[in-house]
Structure 1
Amino acid sequence: MLQLSTIALAAFAALPAVHAQAQAWPTKPITLVVPFPPGGPTDMVARVLAQNVSEQLGQSMIVDNKPGANGNIGNAFVAKAAADGYTVLYNTSSIALSPALYKKLSYNVNTELAPVVLTAVVPLALVVNPDKVKANTVADYVQFAKAQNGRISYGSAGNGNVTHLAAFQFAQHFGIEATHVPYKGSAPADVDLVAGQIDFLTDTINSVSAFIKDGKLKLLAVSTPKRLPNFPQAPTLAESGMTGYESGAWQGVMVPVKTPKDVVDRLNTAFNKALKDPEVLKKLAIQSTEPLGSTPAEYGAYVKKEIARWDSVVKSTGVSLD
């Protein structure tokens, strides 16, 4: 009798472990929400990383594009989602700009989203349509633009996006009067610049590189401290009259704030490993995208620092969206 009871107790004690194992994450596909359109610069990097992370976790990571409102539609969707590890946000630097630009947001990045990892940064490129203006340098374009007396426009990936503020800073610095035309992502803005519907952009380099190589867009300068290996002929904006200027569109991963720590840690490990994978690095290098990587705590501190930095920039430019 004692022996049977001992066996029964041992079996009962093992049940929680079996149950926990059966519930181990992930047991189904994971949705990676990209708050910008398909084919854009954020989407391109997200899909490269998602494929590698899927292979590591043994479950599909499905990219779900939810564009609009400078990424805030997708950001809010994830902030309100179940904190079970199956809805993940692939955010951009726009998440740090929005608190300064919008008086009312439907989510709070500090209280509703938890940091997972800082993934990459994509340099910005100042580009123009070579059929509309024969400018070979920033100085050439500044001279042309000033002569238009306000009859030029610039596009962006959306109101308050880093592509918007960078172009605004460029125009403000050189005293160029221009009208801002916001789009729902980089891809449609790029197409309209090629078609001559707008006059210039400061877009992410991975979004415009194919147009530059085909001669459909002219690259005048880049936003990095040093010239890019893929485009060594292009000077930096700092070299071109904006002394000390540096900017870029950084990207990262966040989840709903109550997501279990073990899930956050597994996602962090998987993304960091992906950012060191030779094939991933090769694909990112083609896009002139710099891989980063971090702990959740490091990314959280970085986001807070960026929120403070962009708050200062927004106040200095006077840009407001509501």
Structure 2
Amino acid sequence: MRFKKIAVLAAMALWLPLCATAQGGDAAAASYPSKPVTVLAPFAAGGTVDIIARLLGHKLAVDLGQSFVVDNRGGAGGTIATAMLARAAPDGYTVMVQHMGLAFNAGLYDKLPFDTARDIRPVAYIGATPNVLVVSKSMPVKTAAEFLAYAKANPGKVNYGSGGVGSAGHVPMAVLSSITGLKMQHVPYKGSGPAIVDLMSGQIQAMLLTIPAVMPFIQQGQLRALATSGAKRSPALPNLPTLEEVGVKQFEYEPWYGYFVPAGTPPAVQQKLHDAVNKALQDPEIAAKLREQGLEVKSMSQQQFVDIVARDTATWGAKIKTLGLRGE
């Protein structure tokens, strides 16, 4: 009996801290958020991530009763903000809105100050947007087919810009060039903004960009849109063909956007944030504004988003290594 009593007491000693942890997480979720939440945006103000973070942040503040303050921490392809998230307290008060570029970084950098799979946790999927191939109006092409033919006939003479080496504008264009056998020159910039300016002036000839980033310039006739990169035509640009429609096979690029938290954040807090984001996405006004940005909103479970991030990290990491791309 004495040994049985000791065994029971030992089991209780192990079990009680777990109960306390679970109860602590539930209590934290019940009061979450009780103070302003910092939302890390890995890119400069005015970009797609920033626009989405601010739009949803305003709605989350209304619904949850605390401010969601966007903190733009650009640089190194988003790794600066991601490292900050990985080091942050796992309490739900530092979160990050990021896009699919996160999946590129493990392949682009030999050493990162964080482990994507170990140190951060995908919480809520927001949506995805195909990119759009845009060219300078000074280019003697009107269609995607003409662009591909021109680039093939003029190897090394077509310059495409991006927001930097290894950026979300560079990697897919490098893959596109490889698939089509085109020899185009990459011109990296410090952010997509300066690259777009040079594209409009004709200093560079082409870019592959998110629809929100260039929609105003397309609408104003300052840039010429040729094709989108998704599996189907974009509702935002329904008259444009996909690249697959013009003969580019095995190329589909629809970068997603989502919320992330530090690993170790209480599951109940993660669930509350996930549910709040999904509720915000169901708001007709928010959904309409996101669609205006070219974003195709979709609700899914947290685990589904976790699986997507893991899949794309592996898939794009392999493509990056095959092409020998390296981040700066």
**Same-fold call, TM > 0.5?**
yes
Residue 226 (structure 2) pairs with residue 247 (structure 1): no
Counterpart Cα distance in 2 of 1:247 and 1:22? 36
Partner of 2:195: 189
Counterpart Cα distance in 2 of 1:33 and 1:151? 38
Counterpart Cα distance in 2 of 1:283 and 1:74? 26
Give the CA deviation at 1:187: 2.6
Given that 1:41 and 1:186 are in contact with CA atoms closer than 8 Å, whether structure 2 keeps it comes out as: no
Partner of 2:265: 259
User: Counterpart amino acid of 1:295?
Assistant: S
Give the CA deviation at 1:58: 0.3
SS at match of 1:248: coil
Give the CA deviation at 1:71: 0.7
Counterpart Cα distance in 2 of 1:45 and 1:104? 29
Residue 129 (structure 2) pairs with residue 122 (structure 1): yes
Unaligned runs of 5+ in 2: 1-22
Given that 1:225 and 1:236 are in contact with CA atoms closer than 8 Å, whether structure 2 keeps it comes out as: yes
Report Cα offsets for 1:77-105 as digits up to 9, x if no partner: 11111112111011111111111111111
Residue 227 (structure 2) pairs with residue 212 (structure 1): no
Given that 2:29 and 2:269 are in contact with CA atoms closer than 8 Å, whether structure 1 keeps it comes out as: no
Among all aligned residue pairs of Structure 1 and Structure 2, give the percentage whose two residues are the same amino acid.
39
Provide closer, same or farther for how the CA distance between residues 230 and 298 of structure 1 changes in structure 2, counting only shifts above 3 A: closer
Taking the TM superposition and a 5 Å limit, the aligned residue runs for 1:1-322 are 24-130=31-137, 132-321=138-327
SS at match of 1:311: helix
Give the CA deviation at 1:291: 0.8
Provide closer, same or farther for how the CA distance between residues 143 and 277 of structure 1 changes in structure 2, counting only shifts above 3 A: same
SS at match of 1:254: strand
Tell which deviates more after alignment, 251-260 or 191-200.
Answer: 191-200
Counterpart Cα distance in 2 of 1:22 and 1:229? 37
User: Counterpart amino acid of 1:229?
Assistant: P
Report Cα offsets for 1:19-48 as digits up to 9, x if no partner: x68992212111110101111111112211
TM-score of the superposition, structure 1-length normalised?
0.88
SS at match of 2:31: coil
Counterpart Cα distance in 2 of 1:172 and 1:179? 12
Given that 1:40 and 1:185 are in contact with CA atoms closer than 8 Å, whether structure 2 keeps it comes out as: no
Give the CA deviation at 1:276: 1.0
TM-score of the superposition, structure 2-length normalised?
0.87
Give the CA deviation at 1:182: 2.4
Tell which deviates more after alignment, 235-244 or 145-154.
Answer: 145-154
SS at match of 2:225: strand
Tell which deviates more after alignment, 169-178 or 114-123.
Answer: 169-178
User: Counterpart amino acid of 2:139?
Assistant: V
What is the alpha-carbon root mean square deviation over aligned residues? 2.1
SS at match of 2:150: helix
Report Cα offsets for 1:163-219 as digits up to 9, x if no partner: 212211222233322222223433332222112222110000111111011111000
User: Counterpart amino acid of 1:284?
Assistant: L
SS at match of 1:320: coil
Provide closer, same or farther for how the CA distance between residues 138 and 21 of structure 1 changes in structure 2, counting only shifts above 3 A: closer
Counterpart Cα distance in 2 of 1:232 and 1:226? 9
User: Counterpart amino acid of 1:260?
Assistant: P
SS at match of 2:287: helix
The number of equivalent residue pairs is 304
Unaligned runs of 5+ in 1: 1-15
Tell which deviates more after alignment, 27-36 or 161-170.
Answer: 161-170
Counterpart Cα distance in 2 of 1:63 and 1:21? 22
